[in-house]
Amino acid sequence: MLDSQTIAIVKSTIPAILELGPSLTAHFYDRMFSHNPELKDIFNMSNQRNGHQREALFNAVCAYASNIDNLAALGPAVEKIAQKHTSFAIRPEQYNIVGTHLLASIDEMLHPGEEVLEAWGKAYGVLAGIFVQREEQIYELSEQKPGGWRGTREFVISEITPQSAVIKSFVLTPADGQPVASYRAGQYLALWVDDPSFENKEIRQYSLTRSPNGKNYRLAVRHEQGGTMSSWLHQQKVGTHLRVAPPAGDFFLDVKPETPVTLISAGVGLTPMLAMLHQLAESRHPSTVQWFHAADNGSTHAFAKEVTETGAHLPRFTQHIWYSHPTAQDKEKFNTHGLINLSPLESMLSDPAMQYYLCGPVGFMEAVEQQLQQLGVSHDRIHYEVFGPHKAL
């Protein structure tokens, strides 16, 4: 554990760190990739270019410094990051590389002196140890599961199905024909692709979209304009081989039979919700299950038939669909024209025991969370997943 002097020194640097803002982490990443370009095969370089990863790391650094005397408060954030790290197969020695460049960045931008650098070095060492320990636990659990493995495993794309004008689903079957590990509804799978057309190896996480069957996995991918991995996947055919890390993620359905559930999504954010809906249907969840989804129009609305058919297995299932730009052909496909507005549905959201699961663009989830809180829903009943670097709503 850290001594009181180290804690005091680290906390005293918080104002200077805040003043630097994400320029600190931008400097860190530029420095690290310059000295260790092999790490470009792990990090999503698109998130480097758009600044999302740098902002996420800066927020994490500030949170750690602010809670250095109360590490228990960081538990949820540590779990989220550790789960993501295992999908990248992060190794303990890579923490040494990160630590070296983080301390060097603090030195080069703040020139705080040896005492401060030594304190930050101790603090980083403690945090790295927490991550290494938790990640090893996750690796061991994944490996020990029936059908489980450590690192990556070769899979084959065995089925491709267009689900909308912009989303395709992919079934991945292990090349060795052996069983695959189970997962919790809401978790994701990491795909590793090293294609000659790529500048770097690409690793992406995609939500699993149905209940475990022990034989294969299904995920769905939206084709993002300019997206390296999504563009590549949408060009593939059945028979393509790729490597896959075990299922991971800290966002998953966790409710009792008597708990009412509302699943709220927009666009491709419905993918983890779909797995949750399948799990609820398979257990014949006796309490209320509500499916709220927003899409541009019928052409981009994925899995609509599957949701209706799956929901039919639930005794108390309802759904409400919003289209922001419906076409003339969409008349029977949606309930409300416009952006999602929960106020007219207040009576459906009044149960104090209801749990809410959200996924979609960050702006969408921020708006939904605000509406839920205005309707009296407490923060602890709202659970969400951000695709890409995490951001607090």
For residue 228, the 8-state DSSP code is H
Q: Name the nearest CA neighbour of 248 among 194, 203, 208, 201.
A: 208
| Residue 232 contacts residue 170 (beta carbons within 8 Å) | no
Q: Are strands 167-174 and 261-266 parallel, antiparallel or unpaired?
A: unpaired
Residue 148, annotated as binding a ligand: no
Backbone angles phi, psi at 266, to 5 degrees: -140, 140
Res. 49: pLDDT tops 90: no
Residue 298 near residue 326, CB atoms below 8 Å: yes
Residues 117 and 161 in one domain: no
* Claim to verify: residue 51 and residue 173 sit in the same structural domain: no
Is 253 inside a domain boundary? no
Select which of 95, 217, 323, 356 is catalytic: 95
Is 206 labelled as part of a ligand binding site? Answer: yes
What does the pLDDT look like over 188-229, one tens digit per residue? 999 999 999 888 889 999 999 999 999 999 999 999 988 899
Q: Within this chain, do residues 239 and 302 fall inside the same structural domain, yes or no? A: no
% of the chain exceeding 70 in pLDDT: 96
Rounded distance, CA 391 to CA 328, Å?
Answer: 37
Cα 303 from Cα 14, distance rounded (Å): 47
Mark whether 136 and 159 lie in a shared domain.
no
Residues 93 and 173 in one domain: no
CATH number at residue 284: 3.40.50.80
pLDDT of residue 343: 94
Higher pLDDT, 20 or 186: 186
Residue 323 marked as a ligand binder: no
Q: Supply the CATH number for residue 157's domain.
A: 2.40.30.10
The alpha carbon of 223 is separated from its chain's Cα centroid by a whole number of angstroms, namely: 17
What is the bridge-based pairing of β-strands 153-162 and 241-248?
Answer: antiparallel
Checking if the pLDDT of 384 tops 90, the result is yes
Q: CATH number of the domain at 116, please.
A: 1.10.490.10
Looking at the fold, whether 288 and 381 belong to one and the same domain comes out as yes
pTM for the model stands at 0.93
269 labeled binding residue: yes
The string of pLDDT tens digits covering residues 103-121 is 999 999 999 999 999 999 9
Co-location of 23 and 67 in the same domain: yes
Name which of 148, 162, 310 is nearest 245 in CA terms. Answer: 148
Domain annotation covers residue 377: yes
- Could you report the per-residue pLDDT of 64-84, keeping only the tens digit for each? 888 888 888 888 888 999 999
196 is in an annotated binding site: no
- Kindly report, residue by residue over 270-292, the tens digit of the pLDDT: 999 999 999 999 999 999 999 99
What domain range is 308 assigned to?
261-385
Domain boundary among 248, 282, 317: 248
Domain boundary among 111, 144, 177: 144
User: What's the domain count of the chain?
Assistant: 3
Alpha carbon distance 359, 209 (integer Å): 13
Active-site annotation holds for 135? yes
Pair 279, 356 in one domain: yes
- Given 29, 124, 135, 202, the catalytic residue: 135
State whether 10 and 140 are in the same domain: yes
